[in-house]
Structure formats: structure tokens, C-alpha cells
Amino acid sequence: MKAILVSKWCTNGNVMQYLRAHPNSNRTDLVVGMANGLHHLHSRKPQIIHGDLKPDNVLISDEGAAQLCDFGMSRVMNELSRVAQTTSTPLGYTIRYSSYEVIVEEKKTEFSDVYAFGCTSIQK
């Protein structure tokens, strides 16, 4: 049985589309929303690693709130798999938003998610 995640349709599109259409939006609120979503994933037991955080994977709700999406590369971590976690394919990431350990070591961790968060947060 395969799990399927369904989310509400976000007419505002992703964060880059939203900012082009609403250039005076409160970017701090959007970044805080992304951080809260990432914190929520990382604080779960077992921990959830997004694995491909980037502007395309941050949708904006009808209320203007940032929402993380596209969990196709996500991994649920536990103490046994934490050290050996690797991507399933060499192209299972977006280079522009990927840290050293993702590109070279093919390991996705909470730290690689935080790196991707930083890269996503500084987009113009």
C-alpha cells in the first residue's frame, strides 16, 4: 500500500510567483512560516527530513501563509537509519539548494534541510 499526501489547492502558487505578484508582501512572515514548517517536520518522532526544500516547494495559502509541499524526496528518520541515510538516485536533489553532504555524500539530514532553507530564504 502506498501512502498519498493531499493538500489544499493554493491559488497563489509558489513563493516566487507570489512575491512577483505581491512585491510588498511581508517576507519576514513568509520566512518564519517556512521555518515553522521545517521545525514541525524535524521535531516529529521519528524525524521527517524534507530533502528538497526550494522556492518551488513553498506554496502560499489563500491567507498568504507559507506552506511546505512536495514531500516526494522526504525521508522519515530514526536512530537506526540516521547514519546511513542516502538518496535513492544521484539526481534526487536541486543543486542550487543542496549542501555538501547532499551533493557529495548523498546524505540528506536536518542540517541539509536547514542549508536549503537558508538558500530559499535569500532568494529575490
Q: Which amino acid is at 98?
A: S
DSSP state of 120: H
Q: Which of 29, 52, 62, 113 is catalytic?
A: 52
Judged by DSSP in three states, 107 sits in: coil
CA dist 86 and 109 (Å) reads: 9
Q: How far apart are CA 13 and CA 36, in angstroms?
A: 19
Asked if 75 contacts 85 with a C-beta cutoff of 8 angstroms, the reply is yes
Centroid of chain to Cα 111: 12
Q: Is 52 a catalytic residue?
A: yes
Catalytic positions, please?
52
